[in-house]
Amino acid sequence: MSCDAVAFSAMLWFASFSPEAQTGSAPAVVQQAPIPPSVASEPLFADIVKRAGGLKARTEAYRQALPKTPDTVAKALKGFDAFQGQIGELSALDMKGHVTLKERGAVDDLKCILRGISQDLPEKLKAVAEAKTVKDQDLALRDMVYLLNDNVEVITAPPKPAA
């Protein structure tokens, strides 16, 4: 017997002993909020996912290329100027996603998370740029990896019912 079948059987057994079952009145129906549609396949959000995934891979490559001596002076990262521009573009797209969802009247957390990511990306980028040691660079890049990963996951995760 599967877990679902056991759970269903237990629910029926408990329901048969409820006061409503004894009096014949129907149990109260709990209304669940509707699940908002996924936006992951919409062009704007698919672009955000693609860019964030690519920037995450590049950030991980930066971390791998760092010298293994953490106390040495931070080195310039190859192609960092272009990377900065791409992070700025992603930040702007995240804010556009926030505004788009807000204009639609979205009540789920995604719009707020996108706004937060949009605001956090420049801060994480600044920490990478201002790192004085390889250890500081590594920590700042690690934080950037986490943020870029969150950027992908919040859009691709299945939507939950609005609270």
Per residue in 128-152, pLDDT (tens digit) is: 999 999 999 999 999 999 999 999 9
Pick the closest to residue 131 from 86, 87, 74, 76 (CA basis).
Answer: 74
Per residue in 50-93, pLDDT (tens digit) is: 999 999 999 999 999 999 988 899 989 999 999 999 999 999 99
- Two structure tokens written together for 148: 């870029």
Pick the closest to residue 39 from 141, 162, 156 (CA basis).
Answer: 156
For the entire predicted model, the pTM comes to 0.77
What sign does the dihedral 63-66-69-74 (CA atoms) show?
negative
